[in-house]
A = this chain, B = another copy of it.
Amino acid sequence: MLQFGKEALQSQPFSRLLKASLTRFDTGGTELRIAITDDLKQQHGFVHGGVLSYAADNALTFAGGAALGTAVVTSEYKLNYLRPAIGQEIIARAVAVHAGKTQAACRCDLFVVNEGKELLCAIAQGTIAKLPVAPSNE
């Protein structure tokens, strides 16, 4: 199942641009990692919020997809930034808190790894929808 997820992630050009990798993908949760390079920063040298948003959005989608067992899209999500992301790697860990017939509610914790230490830098919560009822079919 992880291999399937890895291929899905690699099929996204934007995920390749950010060099994201999927390191866990099962019904118990999802983990996505991004090595921090200069390209991913904002003007103060921290990881740009857009990178954390990408990681949260994608980790939530994979967590919802694993829980619903089908193709899905993120319907909506919310993100709180907690501290500047300074370090070598971003880790986004997401889990489906509840899965219904057509959508799943998921949460995500985002960590920055700095010299081997994980620090929580953002948290997210969102809705993942099966494709047949998703906005993208309209």
Provide the A27-56 mask, 1 if CB < 8 A to any CB of B, else 0: 000000000001111111010111101110
Q: Which of B15, B83, B123 contacts A136 (CB 8 A)?
A: B83
Q: Which of B50, B80, B107, B135 contacts A83 (CB 8 A)?
A: B135
8 A Cβ contacts from A101-138 to B: 101-103, 105, 107, 120, 123-127, 133, 135-138
Q: Is the beta-carbon distance between A98 and B73 smaller than 8 angstroms?
A: no
What chain B residues lie within 8 Å of A73 (beta carbons)? 49, 81
Q: Is the beta-carbon distance between B135 and A82 smaller than 8 angstroms?
A: yes
Q: Which of B81, B101, B125 contacts A133 (CB 8 A)?
A: B101
Whole-angstrom distance from the CB of A101 to the nearest CB of chain B? 5
Whole-angstrom distance from the CB of A11 to the nearest CB of chain B? 4
Please, could you name 14 A-B residue pairs with CB atoms under 8 Å apart, sorted by A? A12-B42, A49-B57, A49-B74, A50-B50, A50-B55, A50-B58, A76-B76, A78-B78, A78-B79, A81-B135, A82-B135, A83-B136, A98-B135, A133-B133
